[in-house]
Amino acid sequence: MNRLNVALISGILHPKYGGPPSVIKAHREGLAPYANTKVFGISDPGDEAELRNIYPECDLFPAAFPKRWFRGKGLRKALTDQAPHFDILHAHMFWDHAVWAAWRASKKNKKPFIVTPHGSILNVWRWKPFHKIAYREWILKIALKDCAFVHALNTREERGCHEFGVSCPIRVIPNGLPEAEYLKKREPQAAWTQWPSLKNKRILLYMGRLSQLKGLDMLPQAWAACLKQSQNKDWMLVIAGPDYRGFSVNVIEQVKELGLEDRVLVTGPVYGEMKDSLLAAAEAFVLPSYTEGFSVAILEAIAASLPCLYTTECHFPELAEAGGGWNIKPEKGDLSQALTELIRLTPGQLRKMGQAANLLGRSKYTLEKVSLQLIKMYRDALAR
């Protein structure tokens, strides 16, 4: 078959924005055997050099007013001009200017348009504010009629799309990591050198944006209750990730108020080798999120053979069913109880759970499998 030419478009590309940029990066890598891809996106001041290193030959546009719309100055014109050179325009996120610009460019050039919401309409409360209702009625409903597919990350998001009123076909394709990530050997020495207090500690790792939506408003309190009940002095909770709208201050204040300074380490953002090293140093992973599309952080944890404590709002029941973790309600009491159970397990018991998690990831959530599903979606869109 002929190679496809695919435009990947997003208002957020920098790793500081969490999962969606890592998904776009993975899609670009996974599609390489089957398609020529080009990334179009928005660059905040100071991010351009790093983004060009991550996405060679990308087209970046300076962030412009209104910034909350993730608008890029000149993006729509560039997409409209270059759309004839692409078979597919695949936009990521949902409410952003980049999605609108991709839709307009695809419509003018009669090219198939696909959008991946990344959980943006997963729950009704996420699109009930007045400005979003207005945008839905005046813009998105019209755009979705021209959409070849909405790409949902799981069946729960598929239901959310139906509740939102998506009228075009929906294709469910999960996130994935390269198979090599599930087989990679990671070493903890770099993390121990960077944070000496972690050496000789048993580490429970949270990794992701520091946001209230990730459950970080209740994690320190649940951790304090768990430690009080168990009297276990071996464990350290590590909270790693970029700040989101200033919420890191709230997390740090909670840690101080609860007297957990010697039992919680807030590292800030970690990438690349340091991320791998923290994963190697940890014995288990926690994500007490109130809402998720399909967590890349959980995939990274199971790739590192870590058992995961996560909430039902992560929509990943098969991980716990496979023996790879705990699937709990997003409530402080349930979280504290599960944490207490987790830290009572031996390293051998946790390793066995982590191996089950890794096996599930390798069998169902590799980038190689995901990429074949994406290519099929693209070809189906072209055949419509």
Instruction: Walk me through the domains of the chain, giving residue ranges and CATH numbers.
Output: 4-176+366-383 (3.40.50.2000), 179-364 (3.40.50.2000)
Beta strand 149-152 with 235-240 is unpaired
pLDDT tens, the chain, 384 aa long? 689 999 999 999 988 888 899 899 999 999 999 999 999 999 988 899 999 999 988 999 999 999 889 999 999 999 999 999 999 999 999 999 999 999 999 999 999 999 999 988 888 878 888 889 999 999 998 999 999 999 999 999 999 999 999 989 999 999 999 999 999 999 999 999 999 999 999 999 999 999 999 999 999 999 999 998 776 789 999 999 999 889 999 999 999 999 999 999 999 999 999 999 999 999 999 999 999 989 999 999 999 999 999 999 999 999 999 999 999 999 999 999 999 999 999 999 999 999 999 999 999 999 999 999 999 999 999 998
Sheet with 149-152: strands ordered across: 71-72, 59-64, 35-43, 4-10, 88-92, 113-116, 149-152, 170-172
SS (H, E, C) 247-288: HHHHHHHHHHHCCCCCCEEEEECCCHHHHHHHHHHEEEEEEC
Buried b (16+ CB within 10 A) or exposed e, 333-356: ebbbbbbbebbeeeeeebebbbeb
Collapsing DSSP to helix, strand or coil, 235 comes out as strand
Half-sphere exposure of 41 (CA within 13 A, CB side): 28
Collapsing DSSP to helix, strand or coil, 167 comes out as coil
CA distances from 118 to 45, 93, 311, 328 (A): 24, 6, 17, 22
pTM of the model: 0.90
Please tell me the predicted confidence (pLDDT) of residue 116.
Answer: 96
The first and second tokens of residue 321, run together, are 């069913």
What CA–CA distance (Å, rounded) separates 359 from 351?
A: 12
Instruction: Give burial (CB, 10 Å; 0-12/13-18/19+) of 310.
Output: buried
